[in-house]
Structure 1
Amino acid sequence: MFAYASASPISIDEEMNKRLVRKIDWHILPWLCLLYVLQYLDKGVISYAGVMGIQTETGLSSSQFTWLGSIYYAGYIVAAPVHNRMFQAYPPSKWIACCVVAWGIVLSCMAACENFAGLMVQRTLLGALEASINCGFSLITAAWYRKYEHGTRTGIWSSCTGFANMIGGLIAFGCVSGQAKHPSALSSWKILSLITGLVSIIFGTCMWLFMAASAVEARFFTEDEKTLAVERLRDNHQGAGSTQYKRYQAKEALLDCRTWMYTVFVLSSQIPAAGLILLQSILIKSLGFTTKETLLLNIPQGFITILCNLSFGSLADITKQRSGSAIAAGVFSLFWAALYMGLGNVSPFYKKYGQLVAYFFMSGSCSTSWFVVISMMSSNVLGTTKKTTVNSVVFLILGVAYFVGPQTFRDAPYYAHAKTSLIVLWTVSILVLAAFYMLNRRENGQRDETQGERRDADERGTGNIEFMDLTDKENKLFRYVL
């Protein structure tokens, strides 16, 4: 990439910038969107299977079923640091493509599982492979887009979880209906795992062959456009990326209070979300709906997810207030959670459709604030080793949150205690986001006061500092995204 990095800034007019962004959007964003649909759908097969007969056929108790949700993230926890190290050694898109093919094979093997032990092994391996997605996507977004484009693009690919819910519900409904009309040796949930697994294998192969690994390797750019594509990222102060592991950057990441604030936020916001994702079909069915009705009712929930992630992601870039957008998303989820809990406390079936609507909005927006924070991490952590270290820590903790989450939903069938913990934890997550805003705003103010008005890089004698692999503490031109 250094061959395409100019020693001094190059002016890029707005028309050219829009042209470059359009090319990136057309050639990179679809891969991220489609893969996110696929990953969320593959991960959610167990949720659909929960109302398609897997518990009866494999002799699972309700406790064992929640362990299938948790054990997925045991594999995730172990593999997340490994993936992040591989992302520094190899292009993230190529490494992810290999993981997609491998998890497609593992998912297809779910059809051969006949008991709890077999399903536990299968889910552990699936979690280890799918751990590559979130941490890899944040790095890919940062490598292609300017910092104030991160929120919108993260909102776009994360909203695809909604499409996955809609598509998954329809596919699962088709499997149930088809199996009922034409009984076969394979159960409907086994057919579902085979379909999604084979699609993953095909997609991963295509991703390896056709997705550009970086701007300088993109065949859709001319040589001049490659230089401009690298140049437009200068203001990110993200550097060109380094394959060399730098111990001091890893130490800085571990000593930075923001790293641990991210972890507290992840735990408080995603422990409840993990339980909602695993048990989404079961929670809807507990309101008194049939299996087929439950599968179809995933569609409106998916639409709400799309709406929330796109809206709050775009709001973050438009207002340049990413913490504020995440706080707004958190408050939105908290309101609907309180309504869902309040109606359910009257009686399990009181205002059945009111509870259903509250559940749709609560569950549809439960991870929106987290996706906004992912875009904040993409913009606010500099230095390749520091970025991958922070990613390792945060996404490892995400695995812990998703491991613990299903275990908080153990008071079936109405989950009163789980609902209470959900309210408390989401309140904590909102307070952490407010602390993020105050900390970053204070740091930016101190940097402005110390440095005065910013001068051109040449006048300051800093040369090509933006393309060096510096951390946010070393690069004094850097300002945190609020």
Structure 2
Amino acid sequence: MSAGSDLEKPVESPVEKPVATNVTIEDPDEGLDPAEKARIERRLLWKLDLRLIPWLSLLYLAAFLDRTNIGNAKIEGLQEHLGMTNTQYNNSLTIFFISYSVFEPVTNVMLKRFRPRIFIPIIIILWGICMTTMGLVHNYSGLMAARWFLGLAEAGLFPGVSYYLSCWYKRREFGIRMAIFFSAAALAGSFGGLLAAAIANMDGIGGKAGWCWIFILEGLATIVLGVMSFWLVYDFPDTATFLSEIDRKRVLYRLAADQQSSAEHEEWKMSYLWASLKDWKTYLAAIIYMGTDGSLYAFSLFVPTIINELGYTSTKAQLLSVPPYALAAILTVFIGWVADRTRARGICNIVMATIGAVGFAMLLGAKTAGTRYAGTFLGAAGIYPTISNSITWTSNNVEGVYKRGVTLGIMIGWGNLNGIVSSNIYRGKDAPNFYPGHGTVLGYLTVFLLGGSILQTILLRIENRKRRRGERDYRIQGLTPSQIDLLGDQRPDFIYTT
């Protein structure tokens, strides 16, 4: 990624500015002039960006490619060769989301306890094996088993990396990095269409159909990435080996000054779980993410089929699925940059959700293939940027390393559970118009994503006004500085990002 001065330059927010609190970590650059400190900070961020973002983005590209390439395999004959009905095909999509969602909430705790450079490579190798076996199955039952274990193995990556990155960057820096990381999902859509079109030409080699080779080759590539990750994934800032001792202190100090207790060690306590479960933001974040994630899986799993039903051949449908994803990747990074600069994450969600709703309204109501194809562009543009923005929004507003991890796990797990709905709304009998599918996604975008974002923006602004007026100061009366820090985002001087 490009991590030039424009990305790293500290920007004063015109919207919210957190009030400084007690920082117990010593500033290793105390006494240096501001220009020299800024130069050191830019160099440090450049080092972090180069070491963390490109490889993690590549891993997520592989993850998203592996979970959605079944849509590409379908139009290359998977369903017919395995003798599956339309319902059985949708079941093979659904079972992934069951195991994926059920195990997702606990994975952030496992990531913290077993360390990223061990936990992440292991789950990558496991899902690569599952992916490869999908190309070796001979019937519906075998595909269902492979998809179940694929969801189980993949469950730890996305919430884990979302939480992991929030432990390295300040709140105003996190959004653009998360956006670049998640843009890999959109690139996976583009890359997946091109790759599937190429691999399908291997039909008959080794006695395997073209769709088999899509799974086998992509699964083997994932296993290689997993092995390499033992050397290319790093632990948390306090023990990361690629940083010098003084750079580790700089990272920890920056996070502490940004009011993030992720900068310090925490031991797991059940109180962190209860703190998340008692916080209204956890549930509203889950509703918002439900709106964007349910829409995402419907789009990514079925866009090749949707385009194919517009009258194009399978190869042309694979290729025509590339441009909407390319636009989505660009907008994901752009919205991440805008939201970091303005801290108006709610407004960004509202605008993009509206664009996505217009796109699916076009898919629902338009009659010509060209207009409906244009709707896929707007749909992708409205869905993909809101995934990373919603996660960053939640990360910005939940303080404490374990509470944030639990909250993100609940939020993302609930969102992915809606993949069960998404995988069953585009039914073969509804082709070529797919009215139930398009209508359901339109509802997800308008009710949950748009409506939830509007409500959370209003509630957070009301709460910020109360904190600025001193109406929450009673929470710290009689407490020591260390006890105040333990309040996390319930501290009266913690100002929410809206």
* 1:128 aligned residue (149, 152, 158): 152
Question: What amino acid is aligned across from residue 38 of structure 1 in structure 2?
Answer: A
* Structure 2: gaps (5+ residues): 1-22
Q: Which residue of 2 aligns with 1:457?
A: none
Please tell me whether the aligned partners of residues 166 and 303 of structure 1 are also in contact (alpha carbons under 8 angstroms): yes
Please tell me whether the aligned partners of residues 173 and 295 of structure 1 are also in contact (alpha carbons under 8 angstroms): yes
Q: Which residue of 2 aligns with 1:436?
A: 456
* Residues 461 and 56 (structure 1), Cα distance of their counterparts in 2 relative to 1, 3 Å cut: closer
1:102 counterpart = 2:126: yes
Question: What amino acid is aligned across from residue 111 of structure 1 in structure 2?
Answer: G
1:288 counterpart = 2:311: yes
Q: Which residue of 1 aligns with 2:47?
A: 23
Q: Which residue of 1 aligns with 2:7?
A: none
Please tell me whether the aligned partners of residues 289 and 411 of structure 2 are also in contact (alpha carbons under 8 angstroms): yes
1:223 counterpart = 2:242: no
Larger deviation, residues 109-118 vs 333-342: 333-342
How much does 1:86 deviate? 0.4
* 2:441 aligned residue (419, 422, 434): 422
Instruction: Report the Cα distance in structure 1 between the residues aligned to 2:439 and 2:101, rounded to whole angstroms.
Output: 26
> What RMSD in Å do the two structures reach over aligned CA positions?
2.4
Larger deviation, residues 421-430 vs 358-367: 358-367
Instruction: Report the Cα distance in structure 2 between the residues aligned to 1:117 and 1:54, rounded to whole angstroms.
Output: 14
Please tell me whether the aligned partners of residues 249 and 471 of structure 1 are also in contact (alpha carbons under 8 angstroms): no
Q: Which residue of 2 aligns with 1:306?
A: 329
Please tell me whether the aligned partners of residues 149 and 317 of structure 1 are also in contact (alpha carbons under 8 angstroms): yes
How much does 1:333 deviate? 0.8
Please tell me whether the aligned partners of residues 470 and 492 of structure 2 are also in contact (alpha carbons under 8 angstroms): no
Instruction: Report the Cα distance in structure 2 between the residues aligned to 1:9 and 1:464, rounded to whole angstroms.
Output: 21
Please tell me whether the aligned partners of residues 304 and 361 of structure 1 are also in contact (alpha carbons under 8 angstroms): no
1:291-370 alignment, distance < 5 Å? 291-343=314-366, 350-370=367-387
How much does 1:265 deviate? 1.7
* Residues 252 and 219 (structure 1), Cα distance of their counterparts in 2 relative to 1, 3 Å cut: closer
* Residues 7 and 227 (structure 1), Cα distance of their counterparts in 2 relative to 1, 3 Å cut: closer
Q: Which residue of 1 aligns with 2:409?
A: 392
Instruction: Report the Cα distance in structure 2 between the residues aligned to 1:406 and 1:248, rounded to whole angstroms.
Output: 36
Instruction: Report the Cα distance in structure 1 between the residues aligned to 2:257 and 2:106, rounded to whole angstroms.
Output: 30
Instruction: Report the Cα distance in structure 1 between the residues aligned to 2:260 and 2:117, rounded to whole angstroms.
Output: 18
* Residues 465 and 294 (structure 1), Cα distance of their counterparts in 2 relative to 1, 3 Å cut: farther
Larger deviation, residues 206-215 vs 120-129: 206-215
How much does 1:261 deviate? 0.7
Please tell me whether the aligned partners of residues 291 and 415 of structure 2 are also in contact (alpha carbons under 8 angstroms): no
- State percent identity of aligned pairs: 23
TM normalised by structure 1 equals 0.90
Please tell me whether the aligned partners of residues 7 and 464 of structure 1 are also in contact (alpha carbons under 8 angstroms): no
How much does 1:364 deviate? 4.6
How much does 1:271 deviate? 2.4
Structure 2 SS opposite 1:407: coil
For residues 358-395 of structure 1, give each alpha carbon's deviation from its aligned partner in whole angstroms, at most 9, with x where no partner exists: 11331353232122010112211112332222123212
Question: What amino acid is aligned across from residue 378 of structure 1 in structure 2?
Answer: S
For residues 387-442 of structure 1, give each alpha carbon's deviation from its aligned partner in whole angstroms, at most 9, with x where no partner exists: 22212321221232111112222352121122222222211121110111111112
Instruction: Report the Cα distance in structure 2 between the residues aligned to 1:255 and 1:93, rounded to whole angstroms.
Output: 32
1:208-247 alignment, distance < 5 Å? 208-239=230-261, 240=263, 242=265, 244-247=267-270
For residues 57-85 of structure 1, give each alpha carbon's deviation from its aligned partner in whole angstroms, at most 9, with x where no partner exists: 10011111111111101111221133122
Instruction: Report the Cα distance in structure 1 between the residues aligned to 2:444 and 2:233, rounded to whole angstroms.
Output: 39
Q: Which residue of 1 aligns with 2:83?
A: 59
Please tell me whether the aligned partners of residues 349 and 386 of structure 2 are also in contact (alpha carbons under 8 angstroms): yes
Please tell me whether the aligned partners of residues 322 and 376 of structure 1 are also in contact (alpha carbons under 8 angstroms): yes
1:132-143 alignment, distance < 5 Å? 132-143=156-167
* Residues 126 and 241 (structure 1), Cα distance of their counterparts in 2 relative to 1, 3 Å cut: farther
Q: Which residue of 2 aligns with 1:82?
A: 106
Q: Which residue of 2 aligns with 1:6?
A: 25
Please tell me whether the aligned partners of residues 236 and 379 of structure 1 are also in contact (alpha carbons under 8 angstroms): no
* Residues 51 and 146 (structure 1), Cα distance of their counterparts in 2 relative to 1, 3 Å cut: same
How much does 1:161 deviate? 1.4
1:117 counterpart = 2:117: no
Q: Which residue of 2 aligns with 1:45?
A: 69
Please tell me whether the aligned partners of residues 288 and 453 of structure 2 are also in contact (alpha carbons under 8 angstroms): yes
* Residues 272 and 221 (structure 1), Cα distance of their counterparts in 2 relative to 1, 3 Å cut: closer
* Residues 111 and 164 (structure 1), Cα distance of their counterparts in 2 relative to 1, 3 Å cut: same
Instruction: Report the Cα distance in structure 1 between the residues aligned to 2:234 and 2:442, rounded to whole angstroms.
Output: 43
Instruction: Report the Cα distance in structure 2 between the residues aligned to 1:7 and 1:464, rounded to whole angstroms.
Output: 16
Q: Which residue of 1 aligns with 2:14?
A: none
After TM superposition, the runs of 4+ consecutive aligned structure 1 residues lying more than 6 A away are none
Q: Which residue of 1 aligns with 2:276?
A: 253
* 1:450 aligned residue (457, 470, 495): 470
For residues 246-269 of structure 1, give each alpha carbon's deviation from its aligned partner in whole angstroms, at most 9, with x where no partner exists: 222211211111111112222333
1:481 counterpart = 2:472: no
Instruction: Report the Cα distance in structure 2 between the residues aligned to 1:120 and 1:191, rounded to whole angstroms.
Output: 18
* Structure 1: gaps (5+ residues): 344-349, 454-459
* 1:412 aligned residue (423, 430, 445): 430
Aligned length: 463
* Residues 210 and 370 (structure 1), Cα distance of their counterparts in 2 relative to 1, 3 Å cut: closer
TM normalised by structure 2 equals 0.87
Structure 2 SS opposite 1:408: coil
* 1:162 aligned residue (174, 186, 189): 186
Instruction: Report the Cα distance in structure 2 between the residues aligned to 1:471 and 1:191, rounded to whole angstroms.
Output: 50
Instruction: Report the Cα distance in structure 1 between the residues aligned to 2:101 and 2:190, rounded to whole angstroms.
Output: 28
Please tell me whether the aligned partners of residues 336 and 362 of structure 1 are also in contact (alpha carbons under 8 angstroms): yes
Structure 1 SS opposite 2:167: helix
Instruction: Report the Cα distance in structure 2 between the residues aligned to 1:84 and 1:417, rounded to whole angstroms.
Output: 35
Please tell me whether the aligned partners of residues 17 and 232 of structure 1 are also in contact (alpha carbons under 8 angstroms): no
